Chains A and B, each alone.
Chain A
């Protein structure tokens, strides 16, 4: 055994004992003596993850003027810091906040959307932001289910149950449950709504609940200064969308709205906070929200701050943060000045027509909605895109996207009804103006005579007429159709050539021309200009615009067939079920049905196909059936290809329906000599630091071969329209700039007329005639005549070419 030093080992043991005694006594002190204190500290210290929304990318006009930007807004939020808070604690905090907000005049900013119960005097009723009774019932059911309320309870009982759940009731002397009387009804309603919102978000610590959005600075400071008394309440500064020009440009800008249930999965997967983020709903805001195809995202990437908060919910330390990345800035092709002029001119003209300020042949009181599109003919850039409804007074609510920026929806039911229409009112004749509807891109209507230049061009190019072709307009063309002059003055235009025909808009000339041209060649030219489906593939027409569009289609056999196939099939099914045809039962959706349907669409009768369906000529009944089907296919085919359809289409009527945007595209293509550019709204995309992310170059969809002589013939005809004797002469009287155009007065059926509809007033044109720069397409519904709306084009030319500044300033003259 070695020689040891027992004294030192003992000393060592003592040191060990001292160390552990120290540690243990400290732990006793912390964990046992101070444990309760620190446990509560720990609960209150719960860290928070605050999502910082990125500021949304700006939308600019072509000169850099702001169309959509952001401003700072003060938002009062509830941070769910301590999930174990008692009813009384939460209520007392919230009621304090509610009172501060009301005192500072921001009562209407409080988030009351989650309590769908309206209380007036002592009447309780469910109130949902819809007018459809069916939807109301569903929403009420969903609401009760969500908060576990008995389905059979009425509004009042529901309200009391909720109040009870949130500790806002007490027992009165008789033992009945009544509301606590220290709060007034308004406060209780607001409080319950906030409690529901908080509950909805659940106990997730990291979700922010908005108590009030976009409150005044005064409110924000009042809240901030009392933060000691208001645990869990945080005043946040967030970017909020702002449209400095209000309703100007709303047609292509769109607005921000709440994420719908149907979109929630998609946006969740993209990392959106679906409970509070707003997303683009229409226009560019929607298209560019997060567009992977175009590689443009207005949303940007949200940042996050990991913070420590004290028991008052105040941030005491930031642990880590990731700055948000602002969205892309998008410079549009729009010229704000022109856009304003277009919208104002539409508004003024609608007012003048509907009030009779413009002398019209008869009153057109429903000329209260319309659109205008201006396109740069050499690039396809859209310089202005307006869709406007008539304001009955300057304060009349219109589609101002600023209305949605706070919450993504509008609280005032009157404004909602005004903007979105009343679903209880059936508007089968499409009479009611719809401010949210984009008449420029979605609203297709018969283009009437504005289509005639294309008919003329097709006929010239296909050599069925030439510059010297003279057709004698006798007024009445056939049993069903006549020139407009016949209807008005019971006479004809007399001998007209193509140029004159355009100038005076002679129907007779175009009936005859189309008749010579034939359906196939006619439809093919319409397709070349983007006004008709591809005759080979059936591909629908498009202009190329980035935002949603719903282009119409020029009447063509296929379109006719699609339109009438169902009624034709119904007839066939019904007839075949008769005993004399052998009681053949065919149900929709079956193979048999599809085979017959396909035959009708192709216009080809195929007996072998029918035999496969056990329909054969061996029996007398079978023979009858086969013959019937054959007859039916032939007649359907000839109806679809009927001369009548073609003649109507030649003057822009019949089943031809086109959008103003398509018309602008077609006129632009015509003006520049046949280059069909992709219409576009985006000129340039900038990174948040201002550097250029991408430049959008003009894109050619189609280059149409047009004989220059034919082109100039059409152009001169269109130029004459604006000259003395032309249908738009009065609008362009003494105009210094030579322009070309065409009016269109697309008539509606007698049935529609009886319900207040009138002819669509169209004007399409380009300027200057010799070296075209811009093309314009304008429509006002129920305006009666295209001549009445031509003035809008003139105002646009004035603004674009800097003419008659004075007269443009005084639209009333």
Chain B
């Protein structure tokens, strides 16, 4: 592997800094959230989750570093293999995967299991970026259909698990990419209308599982259903708000009860905002915004459309996950099982986020044509 050391001069270190800060804050918060799960003090499970997350982080950083070594165009050129590989994994997980949280989404056992749908997000972004780069106009029906087919295969497989949350990310990410690639606005409007019709259709035709319906229903009237399904939403809001400006500190707060489910994964922001308050939340937002803003700048200066599309895909994915995850905690979005990038507990999620950021940096460091 030949690396030109000059390339490292082009790396945006503030993104790396933000990424590390967010992940470390996440690990501390996970420790606090799992501490809450075991009310009798620091038990093995606290250490276990915290240590596992640290290990995932280190492994992810190493993998991310290797991704920096390889030109993103080289990675892009393997898009067919990457795409096929992720489809293959999605099929395998349906065949032999294990069920977690009502979805058959895990491969392998114990803490070292992986979620193929997480990786499919990246391979799909790469594949679509590569395909769109080669298209002179994506608005041509032939091109659009091609893009839709490429998108719909992984989404279909993911829906079979079923993992609607991830598909929601896919959907928004792909829309975002198409928008950035110059999708005609009439498609966007048309799509919106189609979406409304299909939502009603899905609802009426009982395609959604009961718990999915519950979550959506509850979103519209959480206050009316204090004791039932809206309970989590209410509890999440209460936890966050009770953090006030400065937070309750690492060991304080409501989440010390065992009452917020998945407080170290999906509802991690509740714990975060309760412990670190508004101040902590603003710090987190600043770090995220730094990554997003710098990434868009890199996209803008990238040497090719592939890099531009890929970064915009990744950023859209991040942005939506942030909006959705935090939004559901504060009552802006319905409750779905979507992780908060870099913060939520889980190896696959963390690895995907760090690979994504590595790809952004990869584009950034190779933004100028290098003359030997």
Contact = CB atoms under 8 A, between A and B. Distances in A.
B135 interface: no
Interface stretch (A13-21, A246-254, A425-433, A785-793): A13-21
A8 B289 contact: no
Interface in A3-41: 4-5, 8-9, 12-13, 15-16, 19-20, 22-24, 26-28, 30-32, 34-39, 41
B241 A38 contact: yes
A37 B308 CA distance: 46
B357 interface: no
Nearest to B292: A16
Contact of B240 (A27, A316, A319): A27
Contacts of B176: 12
Given A23-B285, A30-B240, A308-B259, A45 B319 contact: no
B305 A27 contact: no
Contact of B231 (A5, A8, A16, A317): A317
B296 interface: yes
Contacts of B330: 23, 26-27, 30
A66 B259 CA distance: 42
A28 B180 contact: no
A8 B180 contact: yes
A414 interface: no
Contact of B226 (A12, A31, A316): A316
A2 B258 contact: no
Would you list the 9 A-B pairs with minimal beta carbon distance, nearest first? A38-B241, A35-B244, A42-B242, A47-B257, A30-B241, A42-B254, A31-B278, A39-B242, A38-B242
A46 B242 CA distance: 12
Looking at chain A's contact residues, is the secondary structure mostly helix, strand, loop, or mixed? helix
Contacts of A12: 176, 179-180, 296, 312
A375 B28 CA distance: 69
A1 interface: yes
B285 A31 contact: no
B15 interface: no
Contacts of B182: 5, 8
B302 interface: yes
Contacts of B299: 9
B243 A35 contact: yes
14 contacts: A9-B296, A9-B299, A16-B289, A16-B293, A22-B327, A23-B330, A30-B237, A30-B241, A32-B278, A41-B238, A41-B242, A42-B239, A47-B257, A319-B258
B155 interface: no
A306 interface: yes
A41 B237 CA distance: 11
A34 to B, nearest CB: 5
B64 to A, nearest CB: 23
A456 to B, nearest CB: 67
Contacts of B238: 38, 41-42, 45
A320 B348 CA distance: 29
Looking at chain B's contact residues, is the secondary structure mostly helix, strand, loop, or mixed? helix
Contacts of B235: 45
B285 A35 contact: no
Contacts of B319: 15-16, 19
Interface in B286-343: 289, 292-293, 296, 299-300, 302-305, 308, 312, 319, 322-323, 326-327, 330-332
Contacts of B332: 22-23, 26
A19 B285 CA distance: 11
B299 to A, nearest CB: 8
Contacts of A9: 180, 296, 299-300
B241 A23 contact: no
B302 A2 contact: yes
B244 A39 contact: yes
Interface of A: 1-2, 4-5, 8-9, 12-13, 15-16, 19-20, 22-24, 26-28, 30-32, 34-39, 41-43, 45-47, 306, 308, 316-317, 319
A631 B240 CA distance: 92
Contact of A35 (B241, B258, B281): B241
B245 A35 contact: yes
Contacts of A28: 278
B323 A23 contact: yes
A320 to B, nearest CB: 8
Contacts of A24: 282, 285
A46 B254 contact: yes
B277 interface: yes
Contacts of A35: 241-245, 278
B226 A47 contact: no
A93 to B, nearest CB: 22
B85 interface: no
Contacts of A41: 238, 242
B242 to A, nearest CB: 4
Contacts of B240: 27, 30-31, 38
B243 to A, nearest CB: 6
Nearest to A2: B305
A757 B172 CA distance: 99
B19 interface: no
A19 B323 contact: yes
Contacts of B257: 46-47
A13 to B, nearest CB: 7
A35 B281 CA distance: 14
Contacts of A4: 300, 308
Nearest to A308: B259
A38 B237 CA distance: 8
B227 interface: yes
Contacts of A30: 237, 240-241, 330
Given A23-B327, A26-B330, A31 B254 contact: no
A80 to B, nearest CB: 14
B244 A36 contact: yes
A13 B176 CA distance: 12
Contacts of A306: 258-259
Nearest to A28: B278
Interface in B224-240: 226-227, 231, 235, 237-240
Contacts of B282: 24, 27
Given A15-B319, A39-B241, A47-B257, 20 more contacts: A2-B303, A5-B180, A12-B296, A12-B312, A19-B322, A22-B327, A23-B326, A24-B282, A24-B285, A27-B278, A28-B278, A31-B278, A31-B281, A32-B244, A32-B278, A35-B278, A42-B239, A45-B238, A316-B227, A319-B259
Given A32-B244, A38-B241, A13 B227 contact: no
A148 to B, nearest CB: 26
B326 A47 contact: no
A47 to B, nearest CB: 4
Nearest to B257: A47
B54 to A, nearest CB: 28
Contact of B179 (A8, A13, A31, A34): A8
A19 to B, nearest CB: 5
A20 B322 CA distance: 9
A548 B253 CA distance: 51
B135 to A, nearest CB: 14
B107 interface: no
B354 interface: no
Nearest to B179: A8
B218 to A, nearest CB: 14
A9 B292 CA distance: 12
Contacts of A38: 237-238, 240-242
Contacts of B312: 12
A36 B258 CA distance: 22
A13 B297 CA distance: 10
B273 interface: yes
B368 to A, nearest CB: 10
A466 B37 CA distance: 81
Contacts of B180: 5, 8-9, 12
Nearest to B243: A31
A207 B308 CA distance: 60
Contact of B245 (A20, A22, A32, A317): A32
Contacts of A319: 258-259
